[in-house]
Each structure stands twice: as structure tokens, then as C-alpha cells.
Amino acid sequence: MKRKIKYLIWGCSTAIIALTAIQTYFIYNTYILKEKDAETLVRAELTRMESEINIDSIRNDWFTQAEMLVRTKGAEAAAAFLSRGSPAISRQVSAYIRKNKILEKYKTTYEVIIHKVSLQGDGSVLNLNNKRWFANGVVNGGHQLILHDLISNSDADGALVRNFNSRSTFTIHGGSSSILREMLGLLIFSVVLLTVVILLFYFSIRSLITQKKIADLQTDFINNITHEFNTPLATMGIALSTVRSQLLLMEDNGISSNGLNVLDRQYHRLKKLIDQVVTHTGVTGQLVLNKVEIPLLDFLEKLLDDFQSAHSGIELIRKLKEVPKEILADPFYLTTAITNLLGNGVKYGGTQLIVDVMKQEDRCRVMITDNGIGIAQADISNIFHKFYRVEKGDIHTTKGLGLGLFYTRSIAGAHGGELSVQSIPGTGSTFTLIIPLA
């Protein structure tokens, strides 16, 4: 049992780790997909922005100014003009991004860099590299994404601005926080689900360990009780042997002999019952039967006589007219099963017991009806479980371990039969034991 619990703990831990890994994998993939969706949305909005503010027209006008500066003031003046960038375009871009919900949501930074431009003037060539043209902010970190490149290699006669090469880039600074806010519901659900699974595993394992402790306590209790019972039983057996040997020396009047036979049968039955309790509380396997042909009427008469002797205040009604002639069964176990059912009737308030035995095709049906307190419907499905005892009304005052009906159903099952019950609270119960004849 301890090894099974260890395996269960190991299996549960592995399952939790696997579930966590799978959840993390799916959440990460969801994040990546949303990040790509955000990038696509921002890219589309920036392209629309360039179209709406007519970047191409502004850029052409700006080149025209640079050309004029080269012609009038020289390449150095044009280089200074280009190095300053275009504050006017930057202001337009910043205003557009602030008003755009998507670009503002993801805190987008848009930037255009002049990677290279050649200025022809005064018989010399002046090259500018990596100069900021316009932007809505300073890109200082983050994952820079390329929107598009603009390359213009103009060698036409008279052109003073040549080999123009620029790149438009953007960066999403608020993407992670925005995406995480969108995924907050999924993250909370995943954490709650994982927590519930862990708690279920925890309570299941704790319940299993608790049940094992209870089962161990029950087994120890039964073993101790049966050990204590064996001592007086052994003494009783010696006393019975002594009395029987003395009766052989005396004149037998029949009454003493009959009483001694009843005591002897009950002694051996009690001895077997104690042995069976030890076996049956620790073993859940099938009973091993020693089936013999039993003359059923004689068998039942002796059994009921013994029960009546022990319960003289009980009215025992016998309906044995249709009893099968013989039955193939284990006499000890069959005695135990019927006696358990009779005892239950008395134990739970019955003052009248009706024993109805008859043949049904190839089976023997034993019906035992009592006028006791009955059984609630909610308890009927549980009364055949090991150690189950009803704890309602006056039933809690009844002594017992909750093994009788479990043991009786096991006996019926071992014979290939069945045990069922019908009961109305306050009226009584009827237990039906069905055993195959052969």
C-alpha cells in the first residue's frame, strides 16, 4: 500500500509538471501570436499614416530645398540642413500617432533614418551617413522593425543630391503590457485551473493516506479482539470436552445431550467466525468454498432451532413447505449468511421474523422479513459496504463492526448467487438471498 501511495504521488507530480509545461507552452504561443498580430496592426496603421500625411510629397519638397541650398550656399550648408532633419514632419507624425488608438495603445515609435546621401557641390562630393530625418521620438532600445526602405540612385546631369538611401523603422514599446492585459483572463483561468488540479491531487492523496491509516487501525483492532476471544474460546472448548466425557459416564436423559450439541455447534461456529473475521477484514479476494450436498430442510430446521434457542423472545415464523430437497453449498458459509440476516432483523428492532424458503427454477430463494425499524433509501446502497454502519435515529446504539452484510453478500457472490434488500423505514425489511441449487 505504501508503494502504491508513492507511485500515486510520483504520478500526480509528473502529471502536474506536464500540465504546467503544456499550459506554459500554449500561453507562450498565444503571446507570440498576439505579438505578431500587434506588429501587423501597427505596420498597417503606419503605412496608412504615410499615405494620409503624404510623406512622398513632403519628402520631395524637402529634397528641393536641399538642392537649392547646394546651388546657392554650397554642400556644407545643405549638409547642415539635412543633419538637422525635419521638425515639421516629426510634429505631424507625433500628432497622428497620438490620435491613432492602435499606435497610441502600443506606444509606437516611428523613425526614418538617412543611411546615406551624396551631395555634389563646388567640385567636391560630401557624403552623409546615418542621419535622423524625422521621428516621433527617440528609439533607444526595443525590437526595431523595418517598415520599408527607400533607395534612389540618381546620376542625372544636374542632380546635386545623389545615392539617397533611407529606412523607415518602428518599435512597439507598450506591446508586452498591452498583450498581457488582453491575456489576463486566460492567465487567471490557467492559474485557477492548475491550482484546482493540484488541490484535487492533494486531497485525493491525503484521503487515501487517511483511509489507509483507518484501515490499519481497523485491522489492528480486529486482530486484537479476535486474539482476546481465542483465549476464552479455547477454555470453552476444553470445558465442552470435559462435560461430554462426563456425560458418557452418566445416564443420558436426552436434554443434556441436546443442549450440549447446541453448545458444541455454536462453539465451532463462533471459532470459525472469528477466523473468518481475521481473514475477511484483511483480504478482499474471493472466498474459498467447500461445497457439499446439503439436505436443505434438515439443515434449516437445525439452524432455526439454534437461533430460536438463543432468541426465545422472538416470534419465528417458518415457511418451509417448498424447500428444495438438496442444495450444493458450503454449510459453514451458508449457515453464517442466514444467521447474519436473522441476527440483523433482531438487532434492528424486529420482534417477528418470517423465513420463507422456496425453489425458483434452478435456484433456492431464502427470504427473511422482519418488522424492525427499516432502512432509509439513502443508506440501502451503502449497507453492503465493508465497515459501513447507519448512524441515524436509534441505530447508533446497535453494536457491531459493519461487516455482517458485506460478508453475507460476499458469501452469496462466492456461491454464484446474490443478496438484495427491500425496506420501508418504520415498517421493516426483507432480505432475499438467492443461491444456485447446483
| pLDDT (average), residues 244-255 | 67
In terms of domains, do 271 and 253 share one? yes
Tell me: pLDDT of 287 over 60: yes
| pLDDT (average), residues 184-195 | 88
- Write the CB contacts of 353 (distance below 8 Å, at least 6 apart in sequence): 314, 315, 316, 317, 342, 345, 346, 368, 369, 370
In terms of domains, do 305 and 269 share one? no
In terms of domains, do 41 and 97 share one? yes
- The two most distant CA atoms of the chain are separated, in Å, by 156
In terms of domains, do 309 and 174 share one? no
Higher pLDDT, 88 or 298: 298
**Closest by CA position to 431, among listed 346, 319, 350, 338:** 338
What does pLDDT average to over the chain? 81
User: Which helix (DSSP H) or strand (DSSP E) does residue 217 occupy?
Assistant: helix 184-249
- What is the number of domains present in the chain? 3
In terms of domains, do 239 and 155 share one? no
In terms of domains, do 153 and 196 share one? no
Predicted local distance difference test score (pLDDT) of residue 152: 65
**Angle value at C-alpha 45, between 39 and 50, nearest 5 degrees:** 125
| pLDDT (average), residues 200-208 | 85
Predicted local distance difference test score (pLDDT) of residue 227: 61
Tell me: pLDDT of 357 over 90: yes
Contact 413, 390 (CB under 8 A): no
Q: Which three cell numbers stand for residue 134?
A: 524625422
In terms of domains, do 399 and 270 share one? no
In terms of domains, do 273 and 378 share one? no
Predicted local distance difference test score (pLDDT) of residue 395: 46
Q: Which three cell numbers stand for residue 169?
A: 523603422
Tell me: pLDDT of 321 over 60: yes
CA distance 34 to 309: 85
Tell me: pLDDT of 179 over 90: no
Tell me: pLDDT of 216 over 70: yes
Predicted local distance difference test score (pLDDT) of residue 231: 63
Higher pLDDT, 119 or 408: 408
Within 10 angstroms of residue 59's Cβ, the number of other Cβ atoms is 20
Tell me: pLDDT of 430 over 90: yes
Question: Which of 124, 155, 182 is where one domain is finished?
Answer: 182
Question: Which of 281, 314, 344 is where one domain is finished?
Answer: 281
In terms of domains, do 144 and 128 share one? yes
Binning pLDDT at 50, 70 and 90, where does residue 251 land? low
In terms of domains, do 208 and 304 share one? no
315-322 sheet: strands from edge to edge: 315-322, 352-360, 363-370, 428-436, 418-424
**CA 393 from centroid of its chain's CA atoms:** 35
Q: What is the pLDDT of residues 92-112, one digit of tens each?
A: 889 999 999 998 888 888 988
CATH of the domain at 326: 3.30.565.10
Q: What is the pLDDT of residues 329-341, one digit of tens each?
A: 999 889 989 998 9
Tell me: pLDDT of 129 over 50: yes
| pLDDT (average), residues 279-288 | 59
| pLDDT (average), residues 199-213 | 84
Predicted local distance difference test score (pLDDT) of residue 228: 67
Binning pLDDT at 50, 70 and 90, where does residue 434 land? very high
Q: Tell me what percent of the residues of the chain surpass a pLDDT of 90.
A: 18
Domain of residue 346, residue span: 287-436
**CA 317 from centroid of its chain's CA atoms:** 52
Q: Strands 161-172 and 326-329, how do they pair?
A: unpaired
Question: Which of 154, 182, 210 is where one domain is finished?
Answer: 182
In terms of domains, do 190 and 178 share one? no
The number of residues in the chain equals: 438
Cα torsion 407, 410, 411, 417: sign? positive
Q: Which three cell numbers stand for residue 79?
A: 549638409
In terms of domains, do 130 and 8 share one? yes
